[in-house]
Structure formats: C-alpha cells, structure tokens
Amino acid sequence: MEKQAKIYIAGHRGMVGSAILRKLQNEGYTNFTLRTSTELDLRNQQKVVDFFAMEQPEYVFLAAANVGGIVANNTYRADFLYDNLQIQNNVIHSSYVNGVKKLMFLGSSCIYPKLAPQPLKEEYLLTGLLEPTNEPYAIAKIAGIKMCDAYRSQYGCNYISVMPTNLYGYNDNYHPQNSHVLPAMIRRFHEAKINNASSVTIWGTGTPKREFLFADDLANACYYLMQTYNEAGLVNVGTGKDISIKDLALLIQKIVGYECKLLFDDSKPDGTPRKLMDVTKLHNQGWKHTIDLEEGIKLAYIDFLKHHK
C-alpha cells in the first residue's frame, strides 16, 4: 500500500477497526476515509454505492460486523445473519464496481465445524456441521470468504480473507449479556471486587479451551498480510496456544486482584469443546504474535478501568 493511498476501514471505531487504524497511523498513513455506523449504514445498499462512488477508496479493510458472544449470537440469529450478509455484499460489490486495488475481509474462527480436528487448519472449512449457537454468524462469514474468492476468480479482484481467533483488547465490548467470554469475565471480576462479592459465577463447566489474540497483534498481522499476501482462500491469525475457561478465569481473577470463590453454572452452554487455530500458514508467511495472554489482559483491564466507571 502506497503511503498516500486512500484507505477505507469499515468499522474503524470497533475493537478491530480501531486497532487497524492505529497501526496504519503508526506506519505513516494519513489518507483515510472513515464513517461511523450512524453516518453510513453499511446494510443500506444505495448508501454504500453512493459512498464508494464519491470517495473512491483504493484499499479496504472490511472489519465492520454485527458481533457478540454466545448469548447474543444465539438470541439475535436473524439479525446476525441479515446484517452481516448485507454489510459484506454491499462493501465487497462496491469495491469491485469502483476498482478498489485490494480488500481484506475479516472473519472469525467460528467458521470451522464444531467437531473439526484440532488445531483448526484452513482446509477444514465446510467439512462438517457448525456450532449451532453461532451458526448464523458463521454462515455469513463463510459467505464472505467465498464471495472474495468468487470475485477474485471471475473478475480478478485481489480480495483476501483473514480469520482471527478470539480477540480482546482496547475498545472491547463489556456488555453484561452480549460480550465475549474474556471481556465478560473482566467485568464480572471487577464488579465482584467493587461489591465485595463472595463468589463469581462462570458460565458452563470451565472445561472448554479457547485461544485469545490481542487486537493490536491482529492489526499488525493485517498490515503485514495486506503488504505480502495475495492468494485465494483464507489465513488463520492466532497464537497457536489455548487455555481452559477455568484457567482463564483464574488468570483474570489474579490480574483484577480479587480473591473469591469460583462457581461454574453448567446449565449454561459450553459451546465448542475446543477452538485452537493452526497458524502454520501465517508463520510460514513470516509473522508471529508478540503480546502474550497475561500481558494483554493487563492492558485490556487498564483500558476497561479508563472507560468504564
């Protein structure tokens, strides 16, 4: 990407989009075209058509999405499918119509089958049934990957797909019901500390294992791949290491600094037993993460304290 190129980051105020914006600014890029969701509803085809025709971005990072944790995914199934398909369809097609040089589509590790072998290799896509609780979101993201590949195949578009593992970091969502597991735990332990609670309840059995990547590491990977990767298919982005939900809870408890009893509510769903990314392809491309989990959670907790009174 040329330093003076016009860059559109869809979702620049979200956790991922804001991390990508910070990374690009640190690398010396200044020519951004940015819109908030109130300024530009990406679900509205005509508004997206008009925006691209007027702004003519050269590079696009598609980080905008309707996202949430296991409860949000399972509750707002129609919204998650409709909103994400609309956003992707509009941005990807308008990028083609307006001659965007390169587009990066950001997906999620939930695209893989629920019982796929571990760690998850890129070729396991569409080899089995999805986890039911987040199936609508996963189907939308799979459609996005296939759309990028189809536009590459039919029209020669240089559109690439990146699949991050579970993310956390600055500007995360700490909503009590709709957030992901790691930020939800940060909030829960912090509130227990403030209220001097005797226990904290963790959803599920605590046995599922998850992998977590700091969002600024993802942004570094996105920048690296935007410069170096030009192929069909998808690239996993993760650490290649996972942790049980119970051990994650103990780590967050230590960082928040509050001793109390841990309770596990096994009436709540566990989700997929394990989700560990195979990051061999990414490592072979020459990129590895730099922020380990404990350091990242400390940074996220500082950010939480700054923005959530």
pLDDT digits (tens, 9 = 90+) for 265-287: 999 888 778 889 999 999 999 99
Which residue positions form the known binding site?
Answer: 11-17, 106-109, 141, 164-167, 180, 188, 203, 210, 270
Q: From the candidates 8, 29, 59, 137, give the one annotated as an active-site residue.
A: 137
**What are 216-270's pLDDT values in tens digits?**
999 999 999 999 999 999 999 999 999 999 999 999 999 999 999 999 999 988 8
Q: Which domains does the chain have, with CATH numbers?
A: 7-171+211-240+275-291 (3.40.50.720)
CA distances (Å), 169 to each of 97, 119, 149, 217, 304, in order? 34, 23, 30, 10, 9
DSSP string over 241-288: --EEHHHHHHHHHHHHT---EEEEETTS---SSEE-B--HHHHHHT--
**What are 176-210's pLDDT values in tens digits?**
777 788 999 999 999 999 999 999 999 899 999 99
> Is 137 among the residues known to form the active site?
yes
Computed over every residue of the chain, the mean pLDDT equals 95
Largest interatomic CA distance in the chain? 60
pLDDT of 123 reads 97
In three-state secondary structure terms, 151 is: helix
Report cis status (omega within 30 of 0) of the bond before 269. Answer: no
Cβ atoms of residues 245 and 208 within 8 Å: yes
69, pLDDT greater than 90:
no
Which residue positions form the known binding site for NADP(+)?
Answer: 11-17, 106-109, 141, 164-167, 180
Residue pointed to by tokens 């046995």: 207
Mean pLDDT of 64-86: 89
**Higher pLDDT, residue 131 or 159:** 159
* 34, amino acid identity: L
Which residue positions form the known binding site for substrate?
Answer: 188, 203, 210, 270
